[in-house]
Amino acid sequence: MTMLKTLAPYEFKSRDAVENYQGRQLLYVNWERHRMFSRPFVLAMKPETPFSAVLEEMAACFSYHPDWQHIDWDKAIWQNGNTPFTPDRNKTLAENGIGHKDLIRFRTPGLDGIAGTGY
């Protein structure tokens, strides 16, 4: 229950409500144990965008890391938040069950960053 106390009625909209994105939705992407990129990145995409578009954005950012070219894509482990899932690159974000402000966590077992440091 909220602990907010105010002198007057206090009702404001979420600044990041999905309707503020003109038909698009926010998506965060993180490559786990590759902290060189410091933090996940954020995209705004229409829910009907194919997941392959996310993969392209990932490649544009993450390919700077020497581990990128060693990824065994069949062994990659995907989570949406804390829930495991298997994305289909030809299906849309909506069909892959990805909603507004979801966080994709991408794991590549055996690849733990520069010198195994997690970076």
Partner 1 sequence: MDMKATKKLGLKERYSLMTRDLAWDTTYQKMEDVFPQTTYEGIKIHDWDKWEDPFRLTMDAYWKYQSEKERKLYAILDGFNQNNGHLSVTDARYINVLKLFLGSTPPLELMAARGFSMMGRQMNGAGPRVACQMQAVDEYRHFQTQIHSISNYNKYYNGMDEFAHQQSRMWYLSDGKSFFDDAITAGPFEFMVAIGFAFEYVLTNILFVPFISGAAYNGDMAAMTVGFSAQSDEARHMTLGLECIKFMLEQDPDNLPIVQRWIDKWTWRGTRKLAAVGMMMDYMLPKRIMSFKEAWEMYVEENGGALFKDLARYGITIPKCFGQTIEEKEHVSHQSWIGFYMKPGATPFHTWIPTPDEMDWLSEKYPNTFDKYYRPVLEFFDAQEKAGNRFDNKTAPMNCQVCVSTMKFNEPGDPMEMCFRESIYKGEKFHTCSDHCKEIFDNEPEKYIQTFISSHQVLQGNCEPEGVDVNAPDFQPGKQILDYWKLDKRALGDFNGSEDQKNFAAWREQATKN
Interface residues toward partner 1, by CB under 8 A = 2-7, 10-18, 20-22, 24, 26, 28, 30, 32-33, 35-42, 44, 57, 60-61, 64, 66, 81, 99-103, 105, 112-115, 117-119
* CA separation, residue 101 to residues 11, 23, 36 (Å): 22, 14, 23
Least distance between partner 1 and beta carbon 14 (Å): 4
H helix or E strand, kind and range, residue 62: helix 51-62
Distance of closest approach, residue 19 Cβ to partner 1, in angstroms: 10
Tell me the residue type at 39.
R
Nearer to partner 1, 31 or 51 (CB): 31
Smaller CB separation from partner 1, 87 or 105: 105
Residue with tokens 């590759």: 34
- Between 51 and 62, CB nearer to partner 1: 62
Token digits for 41? 């990145």
In DSSP terms, 78 is beta-bridged to 106
Token pair of 29 as six digits: 């992407």
CB of 98 to partner 1, least distance (A): 12
